[in-house]
Amino acid sequence: MADLTGADVRRSALTGADVTGADVTGADVTGADVTGVDVAGWSCPMPLRDYPRIVLGHGGGGTLSAELVEHLFLPAFAAAGTVPPCPDTTLAPPGRGSAAPDTDPASVDAAVVEVGGARLAFTTDSYVVRPLFFPGGSIGELAVHGTVNDLACRGARPVALSCGFILEEGLELAVLDRVARAMGAAAASCGVRLVTGDTKVVERGRCDGLYVNTSGIGLVPAGVDVRPGRVRPGDRIVLSGPIGEHGIAVLSVREGLEFGGDDVRSDTAPLHGLVAAMLAASTTGVHAIRDPTRGGLATALVEIAAAAGVGVEFTESAVPVPPAVEAACGFLGLDPLHVANEGRLVAFVADADTDTVLAAMRAHPAGTGATVIGTVTAGHPGLVAARTAFGSTRVVDRPLGEHLPRIC
């Protein structure tokens, strides 16, 4: 099979599923030269699911990622009563093994385990963003904020992080130093410590400069119980600020594009302070929190709807999208709902507590743009519906695979 590099094939606007990497047809997707692609050979998106090799979409946080978890990792780990690796998701079958697992079968972002009487949140993420530096941040800030935010989404107070570097032979030490300083500064500003680490080096051409994994542990305060299983019909859906900036910022510098005259900067930021303020306003009224990273807001809403067995309805026009993000998405055929964020959260809050929580969010620097975007319903469980500007309703799904490979 010919290896046709440089084919950017996007043909599934109807489903919102862009296919950005598909060895199945012999088409690689970095770059944008379509010369020589046998488009007739494509029948996306279905064949990807049956293809016996990893495609970029398996890392996108969408449907393919979920299938990888369900059909490969979950069975493989079943013997240990363990949990699959899944983008920003932790699935812990209850009651087996030596640790007390979270009882929610589809908890998000971090697992909660009881150790020595303490309720610990525990999470991991690897960061492979390309390029390493982008407007508003770098892989260093991302690696700290992303893992801190995963802990925060369980209501935990972040305590300590690990960092594991994989370095490519030939990487400039000055680049590594810049990344490490960004991590140190970000950790300091979050009040967390990088307490343990590891460094591996691989041969030139076996990495892309550097990858870094951060894992984190946090303490879940007494009385705090934030997870999808607590979401109930009637809950209000609160978004902490405008969406799409991280994904577009990375894309713009990667592809050398400018959108709408404004530089779009990544929104990368820690959210644990905001979460603490929300929980201080209402410890029990904050039912679930999710940071909509890979797969964007759409994926966060779909996964919580599915996990909680509820319907989600929101108003498209209520979701703040910066003009430059909107312009870029229009140009690129992307749905802002699918674009990654690294400093936003979406919360599901008891109706009676929404005003209090919203006020607390707006009073916090990370939540000045907080706004109610929708409501949880008992109807259409597992489905997310958006009321459009035209007054119609459309079903919102997560992307099949990967809009923007290596966005985090």
Q: For residues 178-237, which are near a second copy according to CB under 8 A?
A: 180-181, 183-188, 191-208, 211, 213, 215, 217, 219
Among 16, 17, 42, 59, binds a second copy (CB under 8 A): 59
Reduced to 3 states (helix: H, G, I; strand: E, B; else coil), residue 289 is: strand
Q: Could you give the string, one character per residue 235-274, with x where binding to a second copy holds by CB under 8 A and - elsewhere?
A: ----------------------------------------
Least distance in Å: CB of 374 to a second copy?
28
Is position 72 an interface residue for a second copy (rule: CB under 8 A)? yes
Instruction: Determine contact, residues 99/114, Cβ cutoff 8 Å.
Output: yes
Tokens of 400: 């099949």
Closest CB 350 distance from a second copy, rounded Å: 27
CA distance 141 to 145: 6
Phi/psi class of residue 131: alpha, beta or left (left: φ > 0; alpha: ψ in -120 to 50)? beta
Structure tokens that stand for 233 in this block = 């019909």
Shortest Å distance, C-beta 46 to a second copy? 16
Which residues, in sequence order, are CB contacts of 145 under 8 Å at separation 6+? 186, 190, 268, 269, 270, 271, 342, 343
Minimum CB distance to a second copy, residue 11 (Å): 19
Cis before residue 131, ω within 30 degrees of 0?
yes
- Contacting a second copy (CB under 8 A), which of 98, 223, 365, 389? 98
Looking at beta carbons only, is 176 or 328 nearer to a second copy? 176
Amino acid at 204: R
The CB-of-260 to a second copy minimum distance in angstroms stands at: 29
Among 9, 37, 143, 176, binds a second copy (CB under 8 A): 176
d(CA 79, CA 24): 31
- Cα–Cα distance measured from residue 244 to residue 184, given in angstroms and rounded to the nearest whole number: 26
Distance CA 325, CA 341 (A): 12
Task: Select the residue interacting with a second copy from 40, 174, 261, 390 (CB under 8 A).
Answer: 174
Backbone angle region of 31, left / alpha / beta, with phi > 0 → left and psi within -120 to 50 → alpha: left
CB of 72 to a second copy, least distance (A): 5
What 3-state class would DSSP assign to 60? coil
67-75, 249-257, 258-266, 385-393 -> range binding a second copy (CB under 8 A)? 67-75
For a second copy, which is the closer residue by CB, 215 or 299?
A: 215
Q: Is 134 in the site for a second copy (CB under 8 A)?
A: no
Of residues 135-164, those binding a second copy (CB under 8 A): 159-160, 162-164
Helix, strand, or coil here: 201? Answer: strand
Judged by CB under 8 A, the residue of 26, 47, 85, 233 near a second copy is 85
The residue among 205 and 391 lying less far from a second copy, judged by its C-beta, is 205
3-state secondary structure of 322: coil
- Using left for φ > 0, alpha for ψ between -120 and 50, and beta otherwise, residue 336 falls in alpha
Q: Which of 247, 216, 212 is nearest to 126 (CA)?
A: 212
Residue from 132, 143, 153, 167 that binds a second copy (CB under 8 A)? 167
Contact flag: residue 83 with a second copy (CB under 8 A): yes
State the amino acid at position 19 in one-letter form: V
Q: Is 210 or 319 the residue whose CB approaches a second copy more closely?
A: 210
Query: Which member of 2, 13, 34, 54 binds a second copy (CB under 8 A)?
Result: 54
Which of these, 48, 40, 41, 39, lies nearest to 19 by C-alpha position? 48
Residues 7-26 that bind a second copy (CB under 8 A): 21, 23
- Applying CB under 8 A, which part among 77-85, 238-246, 301-309, 376-384 lies near a second copy? 77-85
Q: In this chain, which stretch among 65-73, 273-281, 328-336, 351-359 interacts with a second copy, using CB under 8 A?
A: 65-73
* CA within 13 Å, CB half, 326: 8
The smaller minimum CB distance to a second copy, of residues 40 and 222, is found at 222
Complex with a second copy: residue 172 or 389, whichever CB lies closer: 172
Q: Does 171 bind a second copy (CB under 8 A)?
A: yes
CA–CA dist 145, 246 (Å, integer):
13
CA angle, corner 40, sides to 37 and 41, nearest 5? 75
The residue count for binding a second copy (CB under 8 A) is: 105
Residues 104-133 that bind a second copy (CB under 8 A): 110-111, 113, 115-120, 122-128
